[in-house]
Chain A
Amino acid sequence: MKEGLIYVFKRFIHILIILLVLSFIVFSFIRLIPGDPVKSTLGPLASEESVNRMTHELYLDRPLVVQYGHWLKNVVTQGDFGKSLLTSRPVSLDIKEYLPRSLELCFLSALMILVFGVLFGTISAVFRNTWIDNVIRFLTYLGVVTPPYAFGVLFLLIFSYLLKWFPIGGLPRFSPENVRTGMLSIDALLMGNFSLFIKVLQSYFLPCLSLAIGSIAYQARIHRSAMVENVNADFIAFAEVAGVSKSKLIFKHLMKPSFIPTLTVYGLQVASLLGNAFIIESMFRINGFSQYSLNVILNKDPYGIVAVTFIFGVIFAVVNLCIDIGVVALDPRIRLKGAE
């Protein structure tokens, strides 16, 4: 236990340093943007005085280190990420509005990836080299090579336009006093409105599936090969000789070690969900964080870009830390090595 804690602590410090360096690099990078972002926002008719005032307000006329220090201080003490030129309000407000919806989308997708990826991978491995295995392997191959937007188009055509099982896009609207967490499904439950909750899940189903299906396929392939590799391991042969029942053999002895590669890949997949979601968000008209970050990037909004990359870095790091903890819990060898 102790060496596990040391390992996690070490990783945590490591992540903090990476995030600091990352935000500093993005800051210096933004100074390199050709053209003055303030001038392009205020338009050509703006007076020189107002441009100067805005530039001063945004700390863009101070040395890089001073600007960065000021920004970091505000982030740490007040959670203030500066002012967005695009929406002309604090970036933190934008994040508070858009992020929960995207997190909800990604969380539901991540759940789908874990459940279906492991399920299909296990079925494929248990029935390996039979027709069931072959069908699953063929479908997962298709899943890996197809871009998420193609799945989005396909699902929209079949399930929304043709069969009319799901809405064509958009999410149910909430009156402002009912928005508490920003995550629609939780808000609906907090309101005690169960039919609304079902409606929210229904609107999320197709975008989540389109976003997740490539990763489900990939996850299933990884899990299958991990399980097949372990089938020939000595400890499985021993367990079999010792008379362990088949279901116990599969679900206890085979599943646990097979989860190590699965979890590592799962971490990468989940961490990149949010970054890949912008097409799905625009296709299904979900006004979320990915869409927002795309707009911020396209409009070269300096504080917006810093905040967005910072948030992405945090999410990447947190997901990876969770996965590391999971792997450490599963494999004592890595635990001991990491604490050295």
Chain B
Amino acid sequence: MLAAYLQKLDSDKTNKNSRIEQFKRNWYKFSRNPMNIIGLIIVAVVIFVTIFAKTLAPHPEDAGLHVDIMNAFSKPTLKNWAGTDEYGRDLFSRIIIGLRPSMGIAIMVLAISVTIGVLLGLVAGYYKGTLIDLLISRITELFMSIPPLILAMVVCTMFSNNYFFAAIGIAVAWWPWYTRITYNLVTSLSNELFIVYTELAGVKMMKIIIREMLPNITSSILTKMTLDTGSIILVASSMSYVGLGVQPPTPSLGSMVSEGIAYLPEFWWLTVMPALAVVVIVMGFNLLGDGLTDVLSVEDK
């Protein structure tokens, strides 16, 4: 009894050590490409700024209906890094605070669509070739048969045009992709030798899926989640561009661009600055996602 326990403790320890080793190896591969590091830094800064937006913003009161006409339409200066808008509100503060709803929507969409998508993908892969598989793939196909942006907008307006239902709307259009990727991963894994052997050893299918398959697909799912964060921020900003999602006076990146269009070309910073913010954020998540893909796919081989 005690011997078995000690042995287990020992194996846990070596397991832990080898995991640290593996992490070090992966980190080395990851850090050799400067683009990956840039991506990581951008994402870290974005997350930090999102959490402490209210404290970091130089003029937190400008998030609301604050008016300072004397300062209206100021060019980007040392005092207002990104200039001010038609009410004299500091654009830099508004962009920082506008990050919050974008990130919030991305987190909600990922939480919902990964849960539903991966679950359905696992179930469909588990019951491959049966009626359940057929049913799930048909439902998935149905949700993929109209453009995602249109689907998200319909869902958002049907219920209530706010931040929460914007996220629900995007999630409704997003989960099928996770079902599809999980299904493909599970079906290709089921031909792998280690799965075939565990099956032969008489391990229950459900246990195989949870203990053997799920750990093997997490890296692919996590990479996709990183890449998707950027895409969701893009979609959410497109929706807020037409007034769906976060409602004024709360700033959001898309609505800031659309409001600024009226003041082109003289007051270009009203549109260029928030658009630039979107580009940098999305690029950060894409760089990080690509870096993870490279490292993890090499590890797979």
A residues sitting closer than 8 Å to B (CB atoms) are 18-19, 21-22, 25-26, 29-30, 32-34, 141-142, 144-147, 149-150, 153-154, 156-157, 161-162, 271-272, 274-276, 278-279, 282-283, 293-294, 297-298, 300, 305, 308-309, 312-313, 316-317
CB pair B149–A276 under 8 Å, yes or no, is: yes
B261 within 8 A of A: yes
- Bound CA span A141–B289, Å: 13
Residues of B within 8 A of A33 (CB): 158
Residues of B within 8 A of A297 (CB): 150, 153-154, 157
List the B residue with the shortest CB-CB distance to A310. Answer: B146
CB pair A147–B278 under 8 Å, yes or no, is: yes
Residues of A within 8 A of B254 (CB): 149
**18 residue pairs A–B, Cβ–Cβ below 8 Å:** A29-B154, A29-B158, A32-B158, A33-B158, A142-B279, A145-B230, A146-B279, A149-B258, A150-B278, A153-B261, A154-B272, A157-B265, A161-B264, A272-B147, A274-B147, A275-B149, A276-B238, A278-B242
CB pair B257–A149 under 8 Å, yes or no, is: yes
Q: Which of B153, B154, B243 has its CB near the most chain A CB atoms (within 10 A)?
A: B154
CB pair A147–B275 under 8 Å, yes or no, is: yes
**Supplied contacts A145-B283, A150-B257, A298-B242, 7 more A-B pairs, CB within 8 Å:** A18-B141, A149-B241, A150-B276, A276-B238, A279-B241, A297-B150, A300-B158
Residues of B within 8 A of A32 (CB): 158
Residues of B within 8 A of A276 (CB): 147, 149, 238
Residues of B within 8 A of A312 (CB): 146-147, 150
Q: Which of A18, A145, A298, A309 has its CB near the most chain B CB atoms (within 10 A)?
A: A145
Residues of A within 8 A of B153 (CB): 294, 297
A-B contacts counted at CB < 8 A amount to: 110
**Taking the nearest CB of chain A, how far is it from the CB of B179, in angstroms?**
16
- Bound CA span A162–B266, Å: 11
Residues of A within 8 A of B142 (CB): 18, 21-22, 25
B166 within 8 A of A: no
CB pair B145–A18 under 8 Å, yes or no, is: yes
**Taking the nearest CB of chain A, how far is it from the CB of B168, in angstroms?**
14
- Bound CA span A33–B142, Å: 21
- Bound CA span A195–B265, Å: 29
Q: Which of B159, B243, B257 has its CB near the most chain A CB atoms (within 10 A)?
A: B257
- Bound CA span A272–B150, Å: 10
- Bound CA span A313–B275, Å: 31
CB pair A145–B275 under 8 Å, yes or no, is: no
Residues of B within 8 A of A274 (CB): 147
- Bound CA span A25–B151, Å: 12
Residues of B within 8 A of A313 (CB): 145-146
List the A residue with the shortest CB-CB distance to B272. Answer: A153
**Taking the nearest CB of chain B, how far is it from the CB of A261, in angstroms?**
15
Those of B255-298 within 8 Å (CB) of chain A: 257-258, 261, 264-265, 268, 271-272, 275-276, 278-279, 282-283, 286
B93 within 8 A of A: no
B104 within 8 A of A: no
CB pair B147–A153 under 8 Å, yes or no, is: no
Q: Which of B145, B238, B243, B272 has its CB near the most chain A CB atoms (within 10 A)?
A: B145
B88 within 8 A of A: no
CB pair B241–A156 under 8 Å, yes or no, is: no
- Bound CA span A157–B265, Å: 6
**Taking the nearest CB of chain A, how far is it from the CB of B148, in angstroms?**
7
| Given A18-B141, A150-B278, A279-B238, A145:B150 Cβ within 8 A | no
CB pair B154–A316 under 8 Å, yes or no, is: no
- Bound CA span A242–B261, Å: 59
CB pair B147–A275 under 8 Å, yes or no, is: yes
- Bound CA span A13–B29, Å: 49
Say which residue of A26, A153, A294, A305 sits within 8 Å of B275 (CB atoms). A153
CB pair A22–B145 under 8 Å, yes or no, is: yes
List the A residue with the shortest CB-CB distance to B260. Answer: A153
**Taking the nearest CB of chain A, how far is it from the CB of B172, in angstroms?**
11
CB pair B146–A316 under 8 Å, yes or no, is: yes
CB pair B234–A147 under 8 Å, yes or no, is: yes
Residues of B within 8 A of A283 (CB): 261
CB pair A309–B146 under 8 Å, yes or no, is: yes
Residues of A within 8 A of B226 (CB): none
